[in-house]
């Protein structure tokens, strides 16, 4: 399954069914064994000896959920995951399993008071307009509890530069599927396609507890801020400069032996890498690191501009670098590396 297909699927946190079904179909076609747990994680297995290693990517994306339908047919919503309210106004969305189209609306600037124009409109003052004139008409198309995704199509903007919704973390899911094509033997490999990362790392926490791994890698789409107005020291990562390795984030500190091995492998195999020059944010490595009696972890990320918005952007060269580095690391584990 390619990245275009993966990003087109709906998978807001807690509603990852469409993504999960697509991944399961792909695993079936590959002949890879898997199981699903109570939280909806898909845990694929390959290899049957050696250390237990988790490679993790989360299936869920940030989005919205319908909380209330007004008498006049407008829809109230809540955000699911960390979304900046400034990016919401006027965005096109798709609601529920039938993908009912809508637009996020707000009071027009012509009608706003002076103080309203100078502040961000909070999400609880926004609404979704589906063109319905009454609650009854709206309820024929949508219902309370329906999830909402952003209406953004995958597109190649220039050679190797793509834009889509949900790159955080469908890039990781795509890498896991590529990794599972390799003939792993001297390793107990658990590829976890995790749920509910954006609302508290919940899926990875459950999966890692059950697996009790010897080490773990979180594969993630991470923040990239190499844009106008951002000083060099605050850019975190840069598009096209390779896979990003974390030094530390808000949830985990990578095992230094694993980080050193990733750097060595990158140099040895001419894989471009960069450090994630920020410590804010986090990913499923935090949940894996704290499973049971603890687990050494590291993160390999793909820089993505504008994550947690309706549309993000990435370089396929960074995606390829991350994929190659993960494969090289797992082969090193097969060769005897231990943290």
Look up 197 and say whether it is catalytic: yes
Q: What is the domain extent for residue 249? A: 3-61+165-334
Strands 297-305 and 312-315: antiparallel
Domain-located, residue 146: yes
CATH number of the domain that residue 130 is part of: 2.40.30.40
Residue 114 sits in the same domain as residue 138: yes
Check 197, 198, 261, 320 and give the catalytic one: 197
Domain-located, residue 156: no
Residue 128 sits in the same domain as residue 176: no
Among candidate residues 150, 185, 212, the one where a domain is terminated: 150
pLDDT of residue 263: 98
Residue 54 sits in the same domain as residue 182: yes
Domain-located, residue 7: yes
pLDDT of residue 116: 65
Residue 182 sits in the same domain as residue 288: yes
Which letter does DSSP use for residue 121 in this model? P
Residue 74 sits in the same domain as residue 205: no
Among candidate residues 150, 184, 217, the one where a domain is terminated: 150
Domain-located, residue 155: no
Domain-located, residue 41: yes
Domain-located, residue 286: yes
Domain-located, residue 160: no
Cα 70 to Cα 73, 78, 97, 124, 222, distances in angstroms? 5, 14, 21, 13, 37
What is the domain count for the chain? 2
Among candidate residues 118, 150, 182, the one where a domain is terminated: 150
Single out the residue of 61, 235, 78 nearest to residue 145, CA to CA.
78
pLDDT of residue 87: 93
Which tokens sit at 142? 């949508």
- Residues (pLDDT < 50) of the chain are none
Residue 136 sits in the same domain as residue 15: no
pLDDT of residue 122: 86
pLDDT of residue 109: 65
Asked if the peptide bond before residue 169 counts as cis, ω within 30 degrees of 0, the response is yes
Q: How far is CA 339 from the centre of its chain?
A: 26
Residue 56 sits in the same domain as residue 67: no
CATH number of the domain that residue 28 is part of: 3.40.630.10
Which letter does DSSP use for residue 12 in this model? B
Residue 50 sits in the same domain as residue 108: no
User: Rounded distance, CA 108 to CA 127, Å?
Assistant: 13
Domain-located, residue 159: no
Residue 146 sits in the same domain as residue 172: no
Q: Return left, alpha or beta for 212; rule: phi > 0 is left, psi -120 to 50 is alpha, else beta.
A: left
Residue 181 sits in the same domain as residue 260: yes
Residue 200 sits in the same domain as residue 281: yes
pLDDT of residue 121: 82
Find out whether 214 and 202 touch, Cβ atoms under 8 Å: no
Residue 142 sits in the same domain as residue 196: no
């Amino acid at each position: 399954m390619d990245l275009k297909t993966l990003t087109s699927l709906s998978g807001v946190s807690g509603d990852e069914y469409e993504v999960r079904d697509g991944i399961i179909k792909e695993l079936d076609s590959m002949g890879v064994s898997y199981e699903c747990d109570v939280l909806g994680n898909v845990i694929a297995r390959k290899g049957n000896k050696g250390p237990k290693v988790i490679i993790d990517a989360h299936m869920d994306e940030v989005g919205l959920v319908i909380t209330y339908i007004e008498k006049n047919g407008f829809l109230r919503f809540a955000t699911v995951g960390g979304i900046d309210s400034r990016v919401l106004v006027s965005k096109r969305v798709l609601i529920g399993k039938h993908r009912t189209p809508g637009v996020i609306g707000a009071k027009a600037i012509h009608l706003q008071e002076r103080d309203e124009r100078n502040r961000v409109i909070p999400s609880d003052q926004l609404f979704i307009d589906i063109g319905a004139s009454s609650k009854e008409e709206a309820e024929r198309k949508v219902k309370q509890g329906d999830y909402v995704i952003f209406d953004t199509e995958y597109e190649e903007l220039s050679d190797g530069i793509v834009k889509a919704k949900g790159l955080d973390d469908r890039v990781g899911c795509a890498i896991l599927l590529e990794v599972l094509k390799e003939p792993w033997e001297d390793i107990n490999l658990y590829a976890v396609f995790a749920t509910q990362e954006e609302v508290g790392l919940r899926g990875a926490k459950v999966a890692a507890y059950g697996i009790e791994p010897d080490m773990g890698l979180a594969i993630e789409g991470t923040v990239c801020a190499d844009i106008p107005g951002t000083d060099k020291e605050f850019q975190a990562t840069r598009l096209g400069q390779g896979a990003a390795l974390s030094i530390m984030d808000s949830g985990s500190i990578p095992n230094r032996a694993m980080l050193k091995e990733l750097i060595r492998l990158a140099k040895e195999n001419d894989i471009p890498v960069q450090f994630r020059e920020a410590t804010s944010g986090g990913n499923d490595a935090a949940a894996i690191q704290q499973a049971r009696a603890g687990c050494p972890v590291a993160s390999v990320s793909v820089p993505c501009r504008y994550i947690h918005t309706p549309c993000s952007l990435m370089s396929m060269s960074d995606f390829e670098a991350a994929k190659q580095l993960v494969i090289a690391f797992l082969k090193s584990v097969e060769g005897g590396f231990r943290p």
